[in-house]
Amino acid sequence: MKNRMTLLAAALVCAINSGCSGSPTQDSVAVNSSATVSASAVATTTAKATAVASAPESTATTASESSAATSVATAATPAAVAVGGAATSASASVAGWPQWGRNGHKNLYSPAKGLPTSFAPGDFKPNSEEIDMSTTKNVAQVLKLGSSAYGNVAVAGGKIFIGTNNETPRDSRHLGDRGNLYCFDEKTGDYLWQLACPKLGAGKVSDWEFLGICSSPAIEGNRIYVVGNRCEIICLDTEGMKDGNQGDQDEGKFMAGPGKPPMEVFEKDADIIWRYDMRGELGVFPHNVASSSIVIVGDALFCTTSNGQDWSHLNIPSPTAPCLIALDKKTGELIGEEAEGISKNIMHCNWSSPSFAEVNGKGMVFFAGGDGVLYAFDPKPKKDDEGYGILQKIWSYDCVPDKYKKDKDGKVIKYPDADGPSELIATPVFYKNRVYVAIGQDPEHGEGVGNLVCVDATNGKRVWNYDKINRTISTASIDPTTGLLFIADYSGFVYCIDADTGKENWIYDTKAHMWSSTLVGDGKLYIGDEDGDVTILPARADFDPKKDKPILDVNLQAPIYSSPIFANGRLYIASQSHLYVIGK
């Protein structure tokens, strides 16, 4: 039986992060409770584009030749809501996986057929971090990452994108701790280019060491949108510098870091179109790491700011800063922000990623707040009296049961007590006019009570809740062919629940902590845990964990904190150090 591991570092999965303490240094923006920045008082900002970058040849990746690559189409179905004058794309092609959750609904479900039931991850070559491909089975590529991978892979336009750290440098100019976004060729696994972000210099408090980029990239056409480790929303060209510098000309300065002379830009550096600094422009104070993955709605980008507590875990340096914002995707200009006062009620931080759907013809952005409340916002901001764009709340629902707030004697249960309240870190999932999300905390806080809620998206009222689940940072998977919902909790239990009624079908114990989310498709459920085990279960209501065996249980020899995806006939699973591309 595997031991449940004690977490040693903070990080995030699927747009999820954990947190601890630290103190800001010279490169951090000085923000404190006596000098906070009001969101509504911040002038509409035109993002600063930085110059393009490309890097010299990288270290070789361990990838085998494969012929099963196809170009991925991104969002295909226009929705009725237009933001910034463009129709909203609410769904992605069956083939690709261009963003966290595949499309705006964020349901971790693949409609594809033929998902794999077996593979062998292979063995390491002696005294090496390279996998001997001759020892693998049904594995097309094994791509070397850094030593940390908490974000999730995206596949679009014949390319693979994933965030990591810089512990396996691919460019001798970029040494030491950095946040990296890698771009690989989908067909061959060849390394194409990277975004290399200098550290913020704020230590654990705002940019935890060696976490890298934890945001999952969102790709639309030839543009990538990702949140960097410096709490910046960054727009990139999918081609890197191969097609020339398409943005402003500050990449060399950006890569070098503050106070250093600009670096020369090469072909394998990222082409930055624009950057939006959420710390500098909004005064937000990211706790440990900036983590949100972006959802694209027409011409707007919606993103969590990761605003949170300082190192003391008692003070919120920026209680009036927004937790959810909207930018113009073409210019990076701020066009909207929530003004519900979420920041002042933050329990720890805001690490969830927003989702989007049409509800009876009306567009809604769903946001799981660091206050434990699920929100629905109109995606089209309205100007307030001062001319600032404000996201209008449609409804809200408190996902924390009253019994977690006060004990039987009426005494307040303090956060982060195991029996007490928790925030929302998972991403809200939309399915058949309902929204599903479960409460949880930074894994460093340990295990505790949880609550999974199903909310009617038309009115914000609870349909059902399930409180047998423990704390979780995992996002749900719902199979529309069966109506079954699957979700994991941090304690390592995987639940099969009827999405319509909330009825429990079964619970499977992985016997390891889980940060990642489940993936369901083709009658199979894919799970990765902190012990490095990949488990495939039958995605059926009649599966009996006490009698039936998993379809597959194999170990990747490193923890798994990101979530599996399926794109163009291949399954992608990232451990902390390698990305496995499964299927020929």
Query: Strands 109-110, 519-521: parallel, antiparallel or unpaired by DSSP?
Result: parallel
CB-CB contact of 334 with 276 (8 Å): yes
pLDDT tens over the chain, length 584 residues: 333 333 333 444 333 433 333 333 333 323 333 333 333 333 333 333 333 333 333 333 333 333 333 333 333 333 333 443 333 344 444 579 999 999 999 999 999 999 999 999 999 999 999 999 999 999 999 999 999 898 899 999 999 999 999 888 998 888 888 889 999 999 999 999 999 988 887 667 676 676 888 899 999 999 999 999 888 999 999 999 998 898 877 898 889 888 899 999 999 999 999 999 999 999 998 987 888 899 999 999 999 999 999 988 899 999 999 999 999 999 999 999 999 999 999 999 999 999 999 999 999 999 999 999 999 999 999 999 999 999 999 999 999 999 999 999 999 999 999 999 999 999 999 999 999 999 999 999 999 999 999 999 999 999 999 999 999 999 999 999 999 999 999 999 999 999 999 999 999 999 999 999 999 999 999 999 999 999 999 999 999 999 999 999 999 999 999 999 999 999 999 999 999 999 98
CA atoms within 13 A on the CB side of 518: 31
Question: Which overall architecture, per CATH, does domain 46-582 show?
Answer: 7 Propeller (2.130)
* The residue count for the chain: 584
- Read off the amino acid at residue 221: G
Nearest one of 15, 101, 50, 52 to 238, comparing CA atoms: 52
Query: What are the residue ranges spanned by the domains of the chain?
Result: 46-582
Q: What is the CA radius of gyration of the chain?
A: 22
Entry pTM: 0.86
CB atoms closer than 10 angstroms to residue 35: 10
Calculate ∠ Cα 491-496-502, nearest 5°. Answer: 105
Residue 200: phi and psi, rounded to 5, are -70, -30
Q: How far is CA 427 from CA 353, 355, 508, in A?
A: 5, 7, 22
Nearest one of 276, 307, 321 to 39, comparing CA atoms: 321
* Residues 6+ away with beta carbon under 8 Å from 584: 66, 67, 68, 138, 140
Helix, strand, coil distribution of the chain in percent, nearest 5: 5, 35, 60
Cβ burial, residue 112 (10 Å; 0-12/13-18/19+): middle
The per-residue pLDDT for 434 is 98
